[in-house]
Structure 1
Amino acid sequence: MLRLLKKAAELVALALFLAMFGSFLLQIFMRYVVDRPLGWTLEACMASWIWVVFWSAAFLVDEREHVTFDIFYRAASPAGRRIMATLSGLALLAALLVATPASYDFISFMAIDTTPVMHIRFDLLYAVFMFFLAAVIVRTAARLLALFRSDWRAQISSGMDR
């Protein structure tokens, strides 16, 4: 079931990327070959870019694939790594939980406005950010729980925390 959901998320990301790339190519063609630029293509590129970035970060990009600055983390002992991972996880979880209600309120408020050309409501455009927040909160909580299990050393050495 999990593999099926991941495949579905990949297909959504692919469709978003193809929409972005297709509208980008159409924009170039219409502007420089036909000399009749289309206004909607820029908005389509931006909207699909916002969605593909947050969608992919929420559901497809593994924590190990993110860019990290881990000089001190790698130099620490396993116990030190556990402490650093726990503190950073707690800080991230707290920040995201505090930000979630305000993010939801702001995104809901943005329903009053639309994009200038395609008239996409801004709340729909930025709704993907709530998926992103929820996914990162769940992943961070799972990471913290794993760090408090008796096999926490295996979690650190397995690359979960790099």
Structure 2
Amino acid sequence: MMNRLDTLFKNTCKVMEVLLILIFALLVLDVLWQVFSRYLLNRSFSWTEEFARFSLIWLAILGAAYLSAKREHLSMDFLYQKFSSAKKKKVLLLIEVCVFLFALIVMVIGGFNLVYTTLDLEQLSGTLRIPLGYVYSIFPFSGLLMMCFSIYHIAKINSNQITE
């Protein structure tokens, strides 16, 4: 069973890497086009600023989920390093439960509420005229990914495959 989960985990991370690279590449191209058009063509396109903002939102939120998968999120481990192995395991479990609860309450429930509200009110972005609910949909999506990654890490901790 763990081999299937490991394969699914690795494949999901690979897809996320490709998606993050694609979003970043689009962001770079967008900003380069913005600079080129403004300074060389003496014409500014209003959609480039909004597209850059939306792609940065997606990059940051999806990147947070990716870092959660890789267990590379920001942490201060000075006190953690002083614990015994048994306490470290308990702390790791507590951290994963907290991440799971945060992802559930803030990102999934709050994110679905935000998406539903903006779609229900038919809010559109200023320049691109796309429904803002589509932009905000990255919140519940990334929250669901973080929850899955937390469950995966909890299973790995309980099988003693993750120690730190």
- Superposition TM-score, scaled by structure 2 size: 0.80
2:148 equivalent in structure 1: 138
2:127 equivalent in structure 1: 117
- Superposition TM-score, scaled by structure 1 size: 0.81
Equivalent positions of 1:71-86 (< 5 A) are: 71-86=78-93
Contact between 1:58 and 1:131, CA under 8 Å: does it hold in 2? no
Contact between 1:103 and 1:130, CA under 8 Å: does it hold in 2? yes
Q: Which moved more, 1:93-102 or 1:78-87?
A: 93-102
- Give deviations 1:47-81, integer Å, cap 9, x for gaps: 11122222333347743433321111112111111
Structure 2 residue 33 is the aligned partner of structure 1 residue 26: yes
Equivalent positions of 1:29-44 (< 5 A) are: 29-44=36-51
- Provide structure 1 residue ranges, at least 5 long, that are not aligned to the other structure: none
Amino acid at match of 2:141: F
CA RMSD, Structure 1 to Structure 2 (Å): 2.3
Mapped partners of 1:6, 1:102: distance in 2: 24
- Give deviations 1:110-135, integer Å, cap 9, x for gaps: 12211100112111001111121011
Q: Which moved more, 1:18-27 or 1:99-108?
A: 99-108
- Provide structure 2 residue ranges, at least 5 long, that are not aligned to the other structure: 1-6
Amino acid at match of 2:99: L
Q: Which moved more, 1:17-26 or 1:83-92?
A: 83-92
1:101 aligned residue (96, 101, 109) = 109
Helix, strand or coil: the match of 2:162?
helix
CA apart distance, 1:143: 1.8
